[in-house]
Every structure is written in C-alpha cells, then in structure tokens.
Amino acid sequence: MAASSSTVAPGALPRITILATGGTIAGKANANSAVGYTAGQATAQDLIDAVPGLDKIATLQAVQISNIGSQDMNDQVWLDLAHKIDEIFAGDQADGVVVTHGTDTIEETAFFLDHVVASDKPVVLVGSMRPSTALSADGPANLRSAVQVAADSQARGRGTMVVLNDTIHGAKDVTKSNTTSVQTFTSPNSGPIGHVDAAAVQFAGPATTQPRLTFPVPGKAPLPHVDIVYSHAGMDATQVDDALGHGALGIVLAGVGDGNTAKPVVDALSAAAKRGVLVVRSSRVGSGSVVRNAELNDDELGTVSALGLNPAKSRILLQLLLSDGITDVAKVQQAFGDS
C-alpha cells in the first residue's frame, strides 16, 4: 500500500473529487410511467447542486466518467475509473474520491477499485435506491454522507468503501440484500465498518495495519474471461461446458451450501481444473465462508476455495490474478486468503 504524503492544510477544507458513473442516484422519473424511472440522467454537477451546504464540507470537483445504469457496468468503465483515480492521487489533486454509482453492481466496482488503487487515500462509492425525482429521494443525503466520509482523516488506510443510508461498509464484505429497500446494503460476515450522520463520521475500529492486496491496473478491456456457474437442484454440466466452449480461463462456482454442487458438475469442474482452468468454489448462500477441503476435497479436485468472497467478487479477484499472470493454484488460494 503506497502511503500518500499530502495532508489537509490547517483551516483548509479537504479536496474531494466526485466521479459520476450514473445509476439511480442520477435517475429521473420516466414521463411515460407512474412508477418507472430512467437511471443515469442527472449529471455530476446536478447531484452536487441537490445537496445544500456540500461545499461547506469539502472543496469539490466533479468529473463525469459515464452515465449508465450499473447493470451495464463494464470493464472499460472500471479501467477508466482506476486510471482517473490514480491520476488524481498521484498528482495530489484531491484528498479523497467519491464515486456515484448504481447500486446493482456497486459492490463489484468497489471490490475492483479496492484491489487496484494503491493509495491510502479514501475512495467512497455511493448510490441511492430512489431516483433523484422521487419523494424522499435518498441520493442527496447519501452523497452528503459519502463526501463527509471521504473528507474525514480517519478514512485513510481503509481502502474503498460503500456508503448508503448512514452506514459505511468495506469493499470486501458489502453486498446488496434487498431489491428495493433503502436499507439494502449489509456486510454479512463482518458487519459495517462505521456509521455517519450529519454531525459525525464514526468508524467501529482503527484502520487495519495489514497491507492491502493490490494489483497493477489491467492493461486493457475486456479483463480475462471468467464465468460464474450457478448451482441448483437437478443440475448437469451444461453451464461448465458452455463456459469452457466460450474460452473461459476461470470458472467460479456459485455453489449450494459450503460451495458444493451436483456430481456431474464436480467432475466437469475438476477435469477443467486439471487442464489448467482456474476453478474457485464460492457459495450462493450469501454469508459464511466456503471451507477448504471440507465437503469437497480441493486438494484432490484441483480447486480453490473462495472463503468469504461471494461469487461476483470471486470472479473479479480471479480476473485480476489472471491479468497479473498468476495461475498457480496455491498462489491463487493464497490470494483468496489475503483478499
């Protein structure tokens, strides 16, 4: 983890750059529907203008990176974000970065950035569950909270965070848990890392002194091809065959229970692993850790256990490892342990 040398000058406001990518936080009511809305309509400046007093918390700059619903988030936007954040921190242009983002894949972008941004300055992702034109839109309050967190000196050294509904989550554990509720984000294995209200930012504990596992920003999109295979009752190996047929270099199993799956799928995954495809066993359960060599024998199968990483984040870690040329199964397992 690279230490950053600048500190906020006494009496000066922290400098925060807002990178806008779209999502419901930038959504506007759809004129053709009583309930619908279109994500990614308002600009970064519109979002700032909707929060009275934001300029009293920090000196703000806004950059529009994209304006898409996060269901369409993609490798190119991830690389654009990573390069922009590197440029901002390397040039000491800001003390923290806030990324506005749709909530559907915010946990994936947070996890990606957590593993490619080496600076100890904070990156805070924020979204909203209601569009900007809704009654009780939650975007403005969430954006204010995110800027407060990014501007707080205690936020340094905590990597990338996600802030919604007064709650601060770490990138590794945060996940969306409800389709529509404003209290949708949880960190099932560790709990939130802090809370924020209009008066204060409160972290539950000190920042870790352990170095974060980071990778070089991948050279180009798309990232290496890794597929997720979703396990269910009555399953055969069709999804595995399909992934391999489309050139997957890695497969993540969203397994049942402790990362298990049907016998034909286990056989197909093990055969793939023995041919050099990286196979990671995660779980569709949503909390807990997939235990290595418990229900399935990873040593014999040639597979890796995702431990506490969910399938979507396991996929990203595998992509970063592959893009960094790390394909040795023991080293991949170690990375999952360190993630």
Show which residues are catalytic: 24
| Binding residue for ligand ASP, selected from 122, 127, 140, 224, defined by CB under 6 A | 127
Which helix (H) or strand (E) covers residue 267, if one does? helix 263-274
With contacts defined by CB under 6 A, name the span among 80-88, 99-107, 214-222, 225-233 that binds ligand ASP: 99-107
Q: Which of residues 266-295 bind ligand ASP (CB under 6 A)?
A: none
The angle that helices 311-323 and 329-338 make with each other, rounded to 10 degrees, is 130
Indicate the residue among 20 and 151 with the shorter CB distance to ligand ASP: 20
Q: How many residues belong to the site for ligand ASP (CB under 6 A)?
A: 11
Tokens 């009496």, located at residue = 11
| Binding residue for ligand ASP, selected from 104, 107, 108, 298, defined by CB under 6 A | 104
CA distance linking residue 204 with residue 169, whole number of Å: 11
Indicate the residue among 23 and 192 with the shorter CB distance to ligand ASP: 23
Q: Tell whether residue 71 is a contact of ligand ASP (CB under 6 A).
A: yes
Q: Tell whether residue 70 is a contact of ligand ASP (CB under 6 A).
A: yes
Q: Is 280 helix (H, G, I), strand (E, B) or coil?
A: strand
CA distance linking residue 145 with residue 167, whole number of Å: 9
CA distance linking residue 70 with residue 67, whole number of Å: 9
Q: Tell whether residue 69 is a contact of ligand ASP (CB under 6 A).
A: yes
Minimum Å distance from CB 39 to ligand ASP? 4
Kindly tell me the sign of the dihedral angle through the C-alpha atoms of 285, 291, 295, 301: positive
With contacts defined by CB under 6 A, name the span among 102-110, 145-153, 188-196, 198-206 that binds ligand ASP: 102-110
Contact in structure between 282 and 255 (CB atoms under 8 Å): yes
- Please state whether beta strands 37-38 and 15-20 pair in parallel, antiparallel, or not at all (unpaired): unpaired
Indicate the residue among 137 and 251 with the shorter CB distance to ligand ASP: 137
With contacts defined by CB under 6 A, name the span among 100-108, 218-226, 261-269, 281-289 that binds ligand ASP: 100-108
